[in-house]
Structure 1
Amino acid sequence: MNIKESYAVVTGASQGLGKAFAENLAAKNINVILISLPGQHLKELSQRLAETYHIKTDYYEVDLSITENVFRLTEWLNTSFDIYILINNAGLGGTRKFVEATPEYINTILQVNVTATSLITHQLLPNLLRQPKAYILNVSSMAAFSPIGFKTVYPASKSFIHSFSRGLYEELKNTNVFVSVVNPGAMKTNLDVCKRIEKQGFLGKLTLLDPNKVARYCIIQLFKRDSVIMVNPVSWMIMKMLPIWIRLPLMTAAIKKEIEV
């Protein structure tokens, strides 16, 4: 395989963990295609990565909550590129009372987290299967392992991602495509997120992660063929040790602080 002519696709690439994935892949001399919402300076990021790391880059601005957009994106990717890495990082969360959530809010989370991830993977899989060696990394969350009040839909969507990834790993384990899933906790993506997490108190601050460190570790583990990547052992220990009847109210109480004035 001519790696120099093959590409990694990163969704949600304009900021946070997605941007860190793109940067770390570029630093490894891997060509990248950046996918993100319009108006997030994706062109500038693409140009900077190309100039800094002397790689090939491209970008595509799109709202992944619209299914037709997903098909247009994947058609463009399949027509234009050989893809050997797919990182499904795009995802949406939020904290609010379920009764106060709008139908649009609920649907957008499910469309981006569940539908777009599934369809992008499905549509790009034949491309990945054509490569001598290929990788899929899906970004789930520690929230996948526990329901949480005032988030409700988000943990459920991340449970889907974890289960989907594990099933696909098993299905493809005798092919050239290796499937992995990472379950990070909250990350220092921007000032607003940091403030919101810190409102959770000790538990929130304890589990806060640096996106660049997470991305770097994930890429290392992906190439080592680690099928379930854990980046926060503290969060994982809490999830494993606490029974659901303790964990659910404890996490809900911490999350509720985000919406309390």
Structure 2
Amino acid sequence: MVRQLPTVLVTGASSGIGATYADRFARRGHDLVLVARDQTRLEELASRLRAETGVKIDVVRADLTDSADLARVETRLRDDDSIGVLINNAGVSAPGGFANGDLDVMDRLIRLNVTAVTRLAGAVVPRFLARGDGAIINIASVLGLAPEISLGAYGPSKAYVLALSQSLQAELGGRGVYVQAVLPAATRTEIWAKSGRDVNTLKGVMEVDELVDAALAGFDRREAVTIPPLPDAGQWEKFNAARQAMLPNFANEHAAERYRTGNPGNSIAAQ
């Protein structure tokens, strides 16, 4: 008996990375649930992929910064037993940093890049655990590892997505649920124009097809973290190992010696 492939739910599916993921999974034979704000573009993509691949595709028009729309997608993830892969791709950037940033714009960014990602993952995890399998792909960014590049709340939001993915994988990986964080660098998508930047002025911009194909190679290998533009995987491994090496020291009950020596006002040093 041929096992039915799981349905894949993709957020931000109307263009760019999300649309390319939809294309690739459709060509692998997966049915799809496509979620985005642009109903027309979703329908056009769905019609093309149905004609080219024959898979079943549902279109869900939703603005994930709207609590009612987000709740509808959460309900679909919670109740639809056919969905076995969630791709948290929807995200937004914003121009400028904090010195001249618009707090309302940053708030919307956080609701989409952080809150929606968290709630959608949280909605689907109990069902994945109950059946003993499932996969979540979270689209983060290399900027989550580069706080020196100041783009307001965008980099920090993607650092959260990376940390969330690692935490979920640590908690759930041994129970049949696979979580992958994908960290693109600059990729040729509409996010640049929407944030007021011309992608053609940037160097080292990866084409979206190449980015998604690389991310799927990592998915097939069951990588916890996939960084498509990074030539030397050992650099990430060393970085992650250095982070893990610090963990036992965080349990010390006293401050490190460098914070106590030569400070007569410190109560620990005075004892």
- Provide the TM-score with structure 2 as the length reference: 0.78
Query: Quick one: structure 1 residues 235 and 195, their matched pair in 2 at CA, closer, same or farther if it must change by over 3 Å?
Result: farther
Task: Provide the rounded CA distance (Å) in 2 between the counterparts of 1:79 and 1:174.
Answer: 23
For 1:23, give the aligned amino acid: D
CA contact (8 A) 1:95 1:150 kept: no
Task: Provide the rounded CA distance (Å) in 2 between the counterparts of 1:105 and 1:195.
Answer: 16
Q: Which moved more, 1:61-70 or 1:22-31?
A: 61-70
The alignment status of 1:162 with 2:159, answered yes or no, reads: no
State the SS of the aligned residue for 1:100.
Answer: coil
RMSD in angstroms over aligned alpha carbons?
Answer: 2.8
For 1:220, give the aligned amino acid: A
The aligned residue for residue 113 of structure 2 is 113
Paired residues in the alignment total 236
State the SS of the aligned residue for 1:109.
Answer: helix
| Cα-to-partner distance string for 1:139-174 (whole Å, 9 max, x where unaligned) | 000100012455120000000000110011000111
State the SS of the aligned residue for 1:215.
Answer: helix
Instruction: Tell which has more relative contact order, 1 or 2 (C-alpha 8 A, sep 6+).
Output: 1
State the SS of the aligned residue for 1:173.
Answer: helix
Q: Give ranges in structure 1 of 5+ residues lacking alignment.
A: 241-261
State the SS of the aligned residue for 1:205.
Answer: coil
The aligned residue for residue 66 of structure 1 is 66
Give the C-alpha shift of residue 134 in structure 1.
1.5
Q: Which moved more, 1:64-73 or 1:53-62?
A: 64-73
CA contact (8 A) 1:168 1:179 kept: yes
Aligned-pair identity (%): 24
Task: Provide the rounded CA distance (Å) in 2 between the counterparts of 1:58 and 1:5.
Answer: 16
Q: Which moved more, 1:152-161 or 1:48-57?
A: 48-57
Give the C-alpha shift of residue 197 in structure 1.
3.2
Task: Provide the rounded CA distance (Å) in 2 between the counterparts of 1:7 and 1:229.
Answer: 22
Query: Quick one: structure 1 residues 3 and 133, their matched pair in 2 at CA, closer, same or farther if it must change by over 3 Å?
Result: farther
Task: Provide the rounded CA distance (Å) in 1 between the counterparts of 2:91 and 2:6.
Answer: 25
Q: How does 1:133-172 map to 2 (within 5 A)?
A: 133-148=133-148, 150-172=150-172
Task: Provide the rounded CA distance (Å) in 1 between the counterparts of 2:130 and 2:87.
Answer: 17
Task: Provide the rounded CA distance (Å) in 1 between the counterparts of 2:219 and 2:14.
Answer: 21
The aligned residue for residue 223 of structure 2 is 226
Task: Provide the rounded CA distance (Å) in 2 between the counterparts of 1:188 and 1:12.
Answer: 15
The aligned residue for residue 175 of structure 1 is 175
The alignment status of 1:196 with 2:198, answered yes or no, reads: yes
Q: Give ranges in structure 2 of 5+ residues lacking alignment.
A: 238-271
The aligned residue for residue 261 of structure 2 is none
State the SS of the aligned residue for 1:86.
Answer: strand
State the SS of the aligned residue for 2:138.
Answer: strand
Query: Quick one: structure 1 residues 237 and 130, their matched pair in 2 at CA, closer, same or farther if it must change by over 3 Å?
Result: closer
For 1:226, give the aligned amino acid: E
